[in-house]
Amino acid sequence: MDNYVQLLDESFDLAEQALGHDELGSLFFENFFSNYPETKIYFKGTDIAYFGGKKLNIIFVFLKDIIEHPNFAEGHITMEVGRHQMYGLSDREYYFGLVNCLSITLKNVLGSSWSSLYDEAWNDTSMAFKSIVNEAFETYI
């Protein structure tokens, strides 16, 4: 796990360089809504072309924090799960889908440049994220 932040950063940066920041954000949400169409309701009235890249960065920072600042990440992700309750979001699968779509989007953008090391870093970080989300749901929902 020592080099996971570097691998996450590298894969994310390469995908941003390939598509551009806003286009990567739009593609991510296109994939997310395509795979989880029931989530569109939570983004009703949101300009994804404008907001997509910003939201993508927020999600990415949450994931990196799991490795860089685990105690902070646990508290912050738990707060986000609680905050999202205001919008009626009480399905942990939403969060799981979000993180899955991020790694899948990056993998698709990078194509043959995607490595087994990227895969390991993203899978392990995603599992840690899902564990935190599960605990937040068990505690607060």
For CA atoms 127, 93, 102, 112, the dihedral sign is positive
Cβ–Cβ < 8 Å for 53, 24: yes
CATH number for the domain spanning 23: value is 1.10.490.10
Nearest to 96 by CA among 140, 128, 50: 128
The predicted model scores a pTM of 0.87
pLDDT tens digits along 12-50: 999 999 999 999 999 999 999 999 888 888 888 888 888
| Number of domains making up the chain | 1
- Owning domain of residue 112: 4-140
Q: CA torsion, points 47, 33, 114, 63, in degrees to nearest 10?
A: 70
